[in-house]
Amino acid sequence: MKLNWKSQIGEMRSSKGLSVRDCSKKTKIPEGFLSSLEKGDFDSFPAEIYSKFHIQTYFNFLEIDPIDCFEAYDLYLLELNIKSVDESEDSRDANSYKNVFNFLEVKGLWPKIITFLVVIIFLFLIFITQNDSSENMTNQNLNINPVEIPEDVDEKPFPFEKESSDIELSNLIDTEVESIEDKSVKLNQIKEQLINIEVDGESWIVVKDKNEKNLLYELMQTGNYEIKGFSPLIFQIGHSPSVKIFIDKKEVDFTRAIKSASKYAHFRFIEGQRIESIKD
């Protein structure tokens, strides 16, 4: 009977007389990652590129084919992305309405809009009243002999001043609505930043986004790595001389955040340009 990939890991590791801690030391893969992998718990895994690298390394170490594990992990990522897209769309719709209402409140436009609606209602009532009055006058004049109007007299419509007032108010509300839409678009233009990390040697690296979510928490070795996240970003570098960081293809100079004795650096990258050192 063929064992599933989780059972294969446990049996092969046991057959080699190794514990999870022993495997972690030999492969340099975090012990917590290996424990989660053997349980099939992908929720605590780091970014996809690092997780797949660790899975391949561990399965090679145990001399097992990782194809079944990769299929399970890919299915997990697909379900996670579908859920993330649904939540993102719901959140974006809610934020759009919220941004519009917040903008109206900050700019003090609610009184103008309310005033405009009151004026429209008032003009509508006047229009209805005038129509009722005209109908009454028409009914009263039904018993009066009609007066002949000479053919050479020009008929001119009665000028209503309210028409110009309606146009001015309409132009005003159009301008305010366009301004609201522009501001709403700007509020939603939050860009995800591309983070490239070059490691020459070995260093622990921790990267967190603005929500304190771990984007990376690994012992990194020589190579180039890529992740994405939203500013402000927080970095912890174990051995700074071995690490170079590029954000949106621009190198980040974090030398002033490096502790001279330990070569450890802990800093926050703000607004795409400013470095703020963090004291531990």
Q: Tell me the CATH number at 45.
A: 1.10.260.40
- For residues 127 and 177, membership in a common domain is answered with yes
In a domain, 39, yes or no: yes
226 neighbors 194 (Cβ within 8 angstroms): yes
- Cα 45 from Cα 25, distance rounded (Å): 19
3-class DSSP state for residue 173?
Answer: helix
- For residues 211 and 174, membership in a common domain is answered with no
- For residues 200 and 260, membership in a common domain is answered with yes
**60-83 pLDDT, tens digit each:** 999 999 999 999 999 999 998 898
Beta bridge partners of 203: 220
- For residues 202 and 273, membership in a common domain is answered with yes
Pairing mode of beta strands 265-270, 274-277: antiparallel
In a domain, 17, yes or no: yes
In a domain, 83, yes or no: no
In a domain, 56, yes or no: yes
234 neighbors 224 (Cβ within 8 angstroms): no
The one-letter amino acid code at 145 reads: N
- For residues 200 and 264, membership in a common domain is answered with yes
- Cα 10 from Cα 24, distance rounded (Å): 14
Identify the pLDDT of residue 230: 85
Domain span including residue 199:
193-277
160 pLDDT higher than 50:
no
- For residues 214 and 161, membership in a common domain is answered with no
21 neighbors 191 (Cβ within 8 angstroms): no
**13-23 pLDDT, tens digit each:** 999 999 999 99
Please, where are the H alpha helices in the chain?
5-15, 20-27, 31-39, 48-62, 67-106, 110-140, 161-187
- For residues 203 and 241, membership in a common domain is answered with yes
In a domain, 97, yes or no: no
In a domain, 33, yes or no: yes
Count of domains observed in the chain: 3
In a domain, 263, yes or no: yes
Q: Per mean pLDDT, which of 25-29, 85-89, 123-127 is the most reliable?
A: 25-29
Decide: residue 9, CB within 10 A, 0-12 exposed, 13-18 middle, 19+ buried: buried
pTM of the model: 0.36
219 pLDDT higher than 80:
yes
- For residues 62 and 115, membership in a common domain is answered with no
